[in-house]
Structure 1
Protein backbone atom coordinates (compact mmCIF):
# COMPACT_ATOMS: atom_id res chain seq x y z
CA UNK A 1 0.00 0.00 0.00
CA UNK A 2 1.39 3.38 -0.98
CA UNK A 3 1.40 6.45 1.22
CA UNK A 4 -0.19 9.63 0.04
CA UNK A 5 2.82 11.62 1.24
CA UNK A 6 5.01 9.62 -1.17
CA UNK A 7 2.83 10.59 -4.13
CA UNK A 8 2.22 14.23 -3.29
CA UNK A 9 5.06 16.31 -1.89
CA UNK A 10 4.76 18.32 1.32
CA UNK A 11 3.72 21.47 -0.52
CA UNK A 12 1.03 19.63 -2.50
CA UNK A 13 -0.35 18.04 0.69
CA UNK A 14 -1.17 21.54 1.92
CA UNK A 15 -3.28 22.38 -1.11
CA UNK A 16 -7.09 22.57 -0.79
CA UNK A 17 -8.71 19.13 -1.08
CA UNK A 18 -10.11 19.67 -4.62
CA UNK A 19 -6.64 20.71 -5.82
CA UNK A 20 -5.04 17.68 -4.19
CA UNK A 21 -7.57 15.44 -5.94
CA UNK A 22 -6.93 17.13 -9.27
CA UNK A 23 -3.18 16.60 -8.95
CA UNK A 24 -3.64 12.97 -7.88
CA UNK A 25 -5.84 12.30 -10.90
CA UNK A 26 -3.16 13.64 -13.22
CA UNK A 27 -0.46 11.47 -11.64
CA UNK A 28 -2.51 8.29 -11.43
CA UNK A 29 -3.97 8.58 -14.93
CA UNK A 30 -0.42 8.57 -16.31
CA UNK A 31 0.55 5.62 -14.11
CA UNK A 32 -2.50 3.63 -15.17
CA UNK A 33 -1.87 4.29 -18.85
CA UNK A 34 1.71 3.08 -18.48
CA UNK A 35 0.59 -0.05 -16.65
CA UNK A 36 -2.02 -0.73 -19.34
CA UNK A 37 0.66 -0.70 -22.04
CA UNK A 38 2.77 -3.11 -19.98
CA UNK A 39 -0.11 -5.56 -19.52
CA UNK A 40 -1.56 -8.18 -21.83
CA UNK A 41 -4.87 -6.72 -23.01
CA UNK A 42 -6.85 -9.91 -22.39
CA UNK A 43 -5.88 -9.72 -18.70
CA UNK A 44 -6.86 -6.07 -18.27
CA UNK A 45 -9.70 -6.44 -15.78
CA UNK A 46 -10.23 -10.19 -16.07
CA UNK A 47 -8.39 -11.12 -12.86
CA UNK A 48 -10.22 -8.47 -10.86
CA UNK A 49 -13.64 -9.42 -12.24
CA UNK A 50 -13.29 -13.10 -11.39
CA UNK A 51 -11.75 -12.30 -8.02
CA UNK A 52 -14.75 -10.09 -7.23
CA UNK A 53 -17.16 -12.90 -8.10
CA UNK A 54 -15.17 -15.25 -5.89
CA UNK A 55 -15.34 -12.84 -2.94
CA UNK A 56 -19.06 -12.36 -3.54
CA UNK A 57 -19.44 -16.16 -3.58
CA UNK A 58 -20.97 -16.16 -7.06
CA UNK A 59 -19.61 -18.94 -9.36
CA UNK A 60 -18.69 -17.39 -12.70
CA UNK A 61 -20.46 -20.11 -14.70
CA UNK A 62 -23.62 -19.57 -12.67
CA UNK A 63 -23.57 -15.77 -12.71
CA UNK A 64 -26.89 -15.18 -14.45
CA UNK A 65 -28.65 -17.95 -12.53
CA UNK A 66 -27.33 -16.65 -9.20
CA UNK A 67 -28.43 -13.10 -9.95
CA UNK A 68 -31.91 -14.29 -10.92
CA UNK A 69 -32.15 -16.53 -7.86
CA UNK A 70 -31.03 -13.74 -5.52
CA UNK A 71 -33.07 -11.11 -7.39
CA UNK A 72 -30.09 -8.84 -8.02
CA UNK A 73 -29.16 -6.33 -10.71
CA UNK A 74 -25.59 -6.30 -12.05
CA UNK A 75 -24.30 -2.90 -13.17
CA UNK A 76 -21.04 -1.96 -14.87
CA UNK A 77 -19.50 0.84 -17.00
CA UNK A 78 -17.81 1.19 -20.37
CA UNK A 79 -14.10 1.88 -19.81
CA UNK A 80 -12.39 5.12 -20.81
CA UNK A 81 -8.90 6.48 -20.16
CA UNK A 82 -7.41 3.00 -19.74
CA UNK A 83 -9.87 1.84 -17.07
CA UNK A 84 -10.08 -1.87 -16.38
CA UNK A 85 -12.38 -3.51 -18.92
CA UNK A 86 -15.00 -5.30 -16.82
CA UNK A 87 -17.53 -4.56 -19.57
CA UNK A 88 -15.94 -7.18 -21.83
CA UNK A 89 -17.88 -9.80 -19.87
CA UNK A 90 -21.23 -8.09 -20.48
CA UNK A 91 -24.37 -10.02 -21.21
CA UNK A 92 -27.73 -8.70 -22.34
CA UNK A 93 -29.10 -8.30 -18.80
CA UNK A 94 -26.20 -6.17 -17.46
CA UNK A 95 -26.95 -2.53 -16.67
CA UNK A 96 -24.88 0.48 -17.76
CA UNK A 97 -25.13 4.15 -16.74
CA UNK A 98 -26.29 7.20 -18.64
CA UNK A 99 -25.58 10.66 -17.24
CA UNK A 100 -28.39 13.08 -16.45
CA UNK A 101 -26.73 16.48 -16.50
CA UNK A 102 -27.18 18.24 -13.18
CA UNK A 103 -29.07 15.28 -11.74
CA UNK A 104 -27.63 11.79 -11.53
CA UNK A 105 -27.38 8.43 -13.24
CA UNK A 106 -29.95 6.62 -15.32
CA UNK A 107 -29.52 2.95 -16.28
CA UNK A 108 -30.11 0.85 -19.38
CA UNK A 109 -29.67 -2.80 -20.30
CA UNK A 110 -26.73 -3.85 -22.46
CA UNK A 111 -29.13 -5.75 -24.71
CA UNK A 112 -27.75 -6.72 -28.12
CA UNK A 113 -24.49 -4.88 -27.68
CA UNK A 114 -23.31 -1.39 -28.52
CA UNK A 115 -25.43 -0.76 -31.60
CA UNK A 116 -27.36 2.53 -31.72
CA UNK A 117 -25.41 3.94 -28.79
CA UNK A 118 -24.43 7.58 -28.53
CA UNK A 119 -21.43 9.23 -26.84
CA UNK A 120 -22.02 11.63 -23.98
CA UNK A 121 -19.85 14.69 -23.30
CA UNK A 122 -17.29 12.49 -21.52
CA UNK A 123 -16.94 10.24 -24.58
CA UNK A 124 -18.75 7.35 -22.85
CA UNK A 125 -21.20 5.20 -24.75
CA UNK A 126 -24.80 5.27 -23.55
CA UNK A 127 -28.34 4.89 -24.86
CA UNK A 128 -30.81 7.67 -25.43
CA UNK A 129 -32.73 8.67 -22.33
CA UNK A 130 -35.99 7.10 -23.59
CA UNK A 131 -34.29 3.70 -23.31
CA UNK A 132 -33.14 4.33 -19.72
CA UNK A 133 -34.72 4.17 -16.28
CA UNK A 134 -34.07 5.71 -12.89
CA UNK A 135 -33.12 3.25 -10.19
CA UNK A 136 -35.10 3.41 -6.94
CA UNK A 137 -35.52 1.53 -3.67
CA UNK A 138 -38.52 -0.47 -4.94
CA UNK A 139 -36.22 -2.28 -7.40
CA UNK A 140 -33.96 -5.30 -6.70
CA UNK A 141 -30.64 -4.67 -4.94
CA UNK A 142 -27.69 -3.96 -7.22
CA UNK A 143 -24.12 -5.21 -7.48
CA UNK A 144 -22.45 -2.19 -9.03
CA UNK A 145 -18.92 -2.13 -10.49
CA UNK A 146 -17.86 1.50 -10.17
CA UNK A 147 -15.12 3.38 -12.07
CA UNK A 148 -12.29 5.42 -10.58
CA UNK A 149 -8.55 5.74 -10.14
CA UNK A 150 -7.59 4.78 -6.60
CA UNK A 151 -8.94 3.71 -3.24
CA UNK A 152 -7.97 4.29 0.38
CA UNK A 153 -7.63 1.64 3.07
CA UNK A 154 -10.86 3.05 4.55
CA UNK A 155 -12.77 2.30 1.36
CA UNK A 156 -12.97 5.76 -0.18
CA UNK A 157 -12.60 6.06 -3.94
CA UNK A 158 -10.89 8.69 -6.06
CA UNK A 159 -13.23 9.29 -8.99
CA UNK A 160 -13.03 11.81 -11.81
CA UNK A 161 -14.70 14.75 -10.13
CA UNK A 162 -18.25 14.52 -11.49
CA UNK A 163 -19.71 13.10 -8.29
CA UNK A 164 -22.31 10.99 -10.12
CA UNK A 165 -21.48 7.72 -8.40
CA UNK A 166 -21.12 9.33 -4.97
CA UNK A 167 -24.61 10.80 -5.27
CA UNK A 168 -25.98 7.50 -6.56
CA UNK A 169 -24.42 5.52 -3.70
CA UNK A 170 -25.57 7.99 -1.08
CA UNK A 171 -29.18 7.94 -2.33
CA UNK A 172 -29.30 4.15 -2.59
CA UNK A 173 -26.86 3.10 0.12
CA UNK A 174 -29.04 0.29 1.51
CA UNK A 175 -29.65 -1.19 -1.94
CA UNK A 176 -26.20 -1.06 -3.53
CA UNK A 177 -23.08 -3.17 -3.11
CA UNK A 178 -20.36 -1.07 -4.76
CA UNK A 179 -17.38 -2.99 -6.19
CA UNK A 180 -14.22 -1.11 -7.14
CA UNK A 181 -11.53 -2.93 -9.13
CA UNK A 182 -7.98 -1.56 -9.19
CA UNK A 183 -5.28 -2.37 -11.78
CA UNK A 184 -2.81 -3.22 -9.01
CA UNK A 185 -2.04 -2.63 -5.34
CA UNK A 186 -0.16 0.52 -6.41
CA UNK A 187 -3.53 2.24 -6.64
CA UNK A 188 -4.40 1.39 -3.04
CA UNK A 189 -3.34 4.36 -0.90
CA UNK A 190 -3.19 4.72 2.87
CA UNK A 191 -5.32 7.85 2.76
CA UNK A 192 -7.06 9.97 0.14
CA UNK A 193 -8.09 13.62 0.30
CA UNK A 194 -11.80 13.48 1.18
CA UNK A 195 -14.80 15.75 0.94
CA UNK A 196 -18.12 15.41 2.76
CA UNK A 197 -19.78 14.23 -0.47
CA UNK A 198 -17.44 11.24 -0.89
CA UNK A 199 -18.99 7.80 -0.33
CA UNK A 200 -17.25 4.56 0.59
CA UNK A 201 -17.36 1.47 -1.60
CA UNK A 202 -18.06 -1.98 -0.16
CA UNK A 203 -15.48 -4.15 -1.94
CA UNK A 204 -12.07 -3.25 -3.37
CA UNK A 205 -10.30 -5.78 -5.58
CA UNK A 206 -6.89 -5.69 -7.31
Structure 2
Protein backbone atom coordinates (compact mmCIF):
# COMPACT_ATOMS: atom_id res chain seq x y z
CA UNK A 1 0.00 0.00 0.00
CA UNK A 2 1.40 3.43 -0.88
CA UNK A 3 1.55 6.39 1.53
CA UNK A 4 -1.62 8.03 0.18
CA UNK A 5 -3.75 4.88 0.53
CA UNK A 6 -2.30 4.04 3.95
CA UNK A 7 -2.85 7.61 5.18
CA UNK A 8 -6.47 7.59 3.99
CA UNK A 9 -7.17 4.22 5.63
CA UNK A 10 -5.59 5.14 8.98
CA UNK A 11 -7.27 8.56 9.13
CA UNK A 12 -10.62 6.89 8.49
CA UNK A 13 -9.94 4.40 11.29
CA UNK A 14 -8.88 7.20 13.66
CA UNK A 15 -11.98 9.25 12.93
CA UNK A 16 -14.21 6.23 13.48
CA UNK A 17 -13.27 6.11 17.19
CA UNK A 18 -15.95 7.26 19.58
CA UNK A 19 -15.23 10.49 21.47
CA UNK A 20 -15.00 8.45 24.69
CA UNK A 21 -12.39 6.08 23.18
CA UNK A 22 -10.43 9.01 21.74
CA UNK A 23 -10.37 10.84 25.09
CA UNK A 24 -9.43 7.69 27.04
CA UNK A 25 -6.60 6.77 24.66
CA UNK A 26 -5.38 10.40 24.57
CA UNK A 27 -5.34 10.54 28.38
CA UNK A 28 -3.23 7.37 28.47
CA UNK A 29 -0.77 8.87 26.00
CA UNK A 30 -0.46 11.92 28.26
CA UNK A 31 0.16 9.66 31.27
CA UNK A 32 2.93 7.83 29.38
CA UNK A 33 4.54 11.13 28.41
CA UNK A 34 4.33 12.46 31.98
CA UNK A 35 6.36 9.50 33.22
CA UNK A 36 9.04 9.73 30.53
CA UNK A 37 12.46 11.20 31.38
CA UNK A 38 12.49 13.07 28.04
CA UNK A 39 9.37 14.96 29.08
CA UNK A 40 10.09 15.43 32.78
CA UNK A 41 13.56 16.86 32.07
CA UNK A 42 12.39 19.19 29.27
CA UNK A 43 11.79 22.85 30.04
CA UNK A 44 10.58 23.97 26.59
CA UNK A 45 8.35 21.56 24.69
CA UNK A 46 6.94 21.93 21.20
CA UNK A 47 3.53 20.31 20.82
CA UNK A 48 0.42 20.66 18.64
CA UNK A 49 -3.30 21.33 18.85
CA UNK A 50 -5.29 18.15 18.19
CA UNK A 51 -7.02 18.17 14.81
CA UNK A 52 -9.25 15.49 13.24
CA UNK A 53 -8.99 13.23 16.30
CA UNK A 54 -5.22 13.30 16.62
CA UNK A 55 -4.21 12.27 20.13
CA UNK A 56 -5.27 15.14 22.37
CA UNK A 57 -2.43 16.54 24.48
CA UNK A 58 -4.51 19.20 26.24
CA UNK A 59 -4.45 17.37 29.62
CA UNK A 60 -0.65 17.42 29.41
CA UNK A 61 -0.59 21.10 28.46
CA UNK A 62 -2.97 22.09 31.24
CA UNK A 63 -1.30 20.07 34.01
CA UNK A 64 2.35 21.03 33.58
CA UNK A 65 2.49 24.72 34.49
CA UNK A 66 6.29 24.81 34.73
CA UNK A 67 6.77 23.94 31.04
CA UNK A 68 7.16 26.52 28.31
CA UNK A 69 4.95 25.40 25.43
CA UNK A 70 5.52 26.11 21.76
CA UNK A 71 2.78 25.60 19.20
CA UNK A 72 3.17 25.69 15.42
CA UNK A 73 2.01 28.21 12.86
CA UNK A 74 2.20 27.26 9.19
CA UNK A 75 3.80 30.08 7.24
CA UNK A 76 4.47 29.26 3.60
CA UNK A 77 6.09 25.83 3.63
CA UNK A 78 7.58 26.15 7.13
CA UNK A 79 6.52 25.79 10.74
CA UNK A 80 7.16 28.67 13.09
CA UNK A 81 6.91 27.99 16.80
CA UNK A 82 5.18 30.47 19.07
CA UNK A 83 5.03 30.45 22.84
CA UNK A 84 1.56 29.56 24.03
CA UNK A 85 -0.04 29.29 27.46
CA UNK A 86 -3.00 26.96 28.09
CA UNK A 87 -6.35 28.73 27.72
CA UNK A 88 -4.75 31.47 25.61
CA UNK A 89 -6.79 32.42 22.55
CA UNK A 90 -5.91 30.88 19.18
CA UNK A 91 -6.91 31.51 15.60
CA UNK A 92 -7.70 29.05 12.83
CA UNK A 93 -4.83 28.70 10.34
CA UNK A 94 -4.77 28.00 6.62
CA UNK A 95 -5.43 24.24 7.04
CA UNK A 96 -8.24 24.73 9.55
CA UNK A 97 -5.87 23.92 12.42
CA UNK A 98 -5.79 26.13 15.55
CA UNK A 99 -2.62 28.23 15.81
CA UNK A 100 -1.26 30.81 18.24
CA UNK A 101 -1.62 34.40 17.10
CA UNK A 102 1.22 35.66 14.90
CA UNK A 103 2.20 38.26 17.51
CA UNK A 104 2.89 35.60 20.18
CA UNK A 105 6.61 35.33 21.07
CA UNK A 106 8.64 33.10 18.76
CA UNK A 107 10.53 30.16 20.26
CA UNK A 108 13.94 29.59 18.71
CA UNK A 109 15.46 26.16 18.24
CA UNK A 110 18.09 26.88 20.93
CA UNK A 111 15.34 26.98 23.57
CA UNK A 112 13.74 23.66 22.60
CA UNK A 113 14.31 20.50 24.63
CA UNK A 114 11.61 18.24 23.18
CA UNK A 115 9.28 18.06 20.18
CA UNK A 116 5.99 16.12 20.36
CA UNK A 117 5.08 15.34 16.76
CA UNK A 118 1.60 14.39 15.51
CA UNK A 119 1.64 11.35 13.21
CA UNK A 120 -0.82 9.47 11.07
CA UNK A 121 1.35 6.39 11.73
CA UNK A 122 4.79 5.36 12.96
CA UNK A 123 6.79 2.23 12.45
CA UNK A 124 8.99 0.25 14.82
CA UNK A 125 12.13 1.86 13.35
CA UNK A 126 10.89 5.33 14.35
CA UNK A 127 9.78 6.59 10.95
CA UNK A 128 6.51 8.51 10.72
CA UNK A 129 3.78 8.88 8.19
CA UNK A 130 2.52 12.46 8.23
CA UNK A 131 -0.19 14.25 6.34
CA UNK A 132 1.81 14.73 3.14
CA UNK A 133 2.68 18.42 3.47
CA UNK A 134 6.30 17.80 4.48
CA UNK A 135 6.31 20.39 7.30
CA UNK A 136 7.81 18.09 9.94
CA UNK A 137 10.09 16.40 7.38
CA UNK A 138 11.63 19.79 6.55
CA UNK A 139 11.88 20.69 10.24
CA UNK A 140 13.61 17.44 11.21
CA UNK A 141 15.98 17.66 8.21
CA UNK A 142 17.19 21.17 9.10
CA UNK A 143 20.64 20.98 10.75
CA UNK A 144 19.64 23.09 13.76
CA UNK A 145 16.71 20.78 14.56
CA UNK A 146 18.33 17.44 13.66
CA UNK A 147 19.50 16.58 17.18
CA UNK A 148 16.43 17.74 19.08
CA UNK A 149 14.65 14.95 20.92
CA UNK A 150 11.46 14.16 18.97
CA UNK A 151 8.66 11.86 20.10
CA UNK A 152 6.02 10.72 17.60
CA UNK A 153 2.51 10.66 19.07
CA UNK A 154 0.22 8.00 17.65
CA UNK A 155 -2.51 5.57 18.67
CA UNK A 156 -1.59 1.87 18.98
CA UNK A 157 -3.50 0.83 15.85
CA UNK A 158 -1.23 3.14 13.83
CA UNK A 159 2.05 1.87 15.33
CA UNK A 160 2.99 -0.47 12.50
CA UNK A 161 5.78 -2.96 11.79
CA UNK A 162 6.56 -1.25 8.46
CA UNK A 163 5.83 1.95 6.54
CA UNK A 164 6.78 3.10 3.06
CA UNK A 165 9.90 5.27 3.56
CA UNK A 166 11.29 7.96 1.28
CA UNK A 167 14.95 9.09 1.23
CA UNK A 168 14.09 12.38 3.00
CA UNK A 169 12.30 10.69 5.93
CA UNK A 170 14.08 11.00 9.29
CA UNK A 171 13.52 8.62 12.21
CA UNK A 172 12.18 9.97 15.49
CA UNK A 173 13.89 9.36 18.83
CA UNK A 174 10.83 7.76 20.42
CA UNK A 175 7.20 6.82 19.79
CA UNK A 176 4.44 7.21 22.37
CA UNK A 177 1.11 5.37 22.19
CA UNK A 178 -1.59 4.76 24.76
CA UNK A 179 0.12 1.51 25.86
CA UNK A 180 3.83 2.20 25.50
CA UNK A 181 6.71 4.61 25.09
CA UNK A 182 9.33 3.15 22.75
CA UNK A 183 12.67 4.94 23.05
CA UNK A 184 15.62 4.57 20.70
CA UNK A 185 13.67 3.30 17.73
1:33 to 15, 22, 26: 15
Regions of 4+ moved over 4 Å: none
Unaligned runs of at least 5 residues, structure 2? 178-185
1:179–1:204 Cα contact (<8 Å) kept: yes
Equivalent residue, structure 2, for 1:199: 170
Matched, 1:181 2:156: no
* 1:101-141 deviation digits (Å, cap 9, x = unpaired): 13x111112225242x22112111112333242633xx234
**Helix, strand or coil: the match of 2:115?**
strand
Unaligned 5+ segments in structure 1 are 1-7, 9-19
Q: Which has the higher strand share?
A: 2
Bigger-Rg structure (1/2): 1
- The equivalent residue for 1:87 is 58
What SS class does the counterpart of residue 146 from structure 1 fall into?
strand
- Tell me the CA shift for residue 81 of structure 1: 1.0
Aligned to 1:12: none
2:140 is paired with a residue of what secondary structure? Answer: helix
TM-score, normalised to structure 1, is: 0.74
- Paired residue for 1:77? 48
- Tell me whether 1:54 sits opposite 2:35 in the alignment: yes
Q: 3-state SS of the aligned residue for 2:111? A: coil
Relative to structure 1, the CA distance from residue 95 to residue 141 in structure 2 (aligned partners, 3 Å threshold; closer, same or farther) is closer
Following TM superposition, by how much is the alpha carbon of 1:25 offset from its aligned partner in structure 2, in angstroms?
Answer: 0.9
Deviations 1:30-76 (A, max 9, x none): 11112x21744542311112212323265xxxx5xx54xxxx31111
Q: CA deviation at 1:182?
A: 1.9
Q: How many residues align?
A: 171
Q: 1:160 to 1:78 in 2, by over 3 A?
A: same
Aligned pair partner of 2:84 in 85, 93, 110: 110
Structure with more of its chain in helix, by fraction: 1
CA contact (8 A) 1:106 1:132 kept: no
Q: 1:112 to 1:39 in 2, by over 3 A?
A: closer
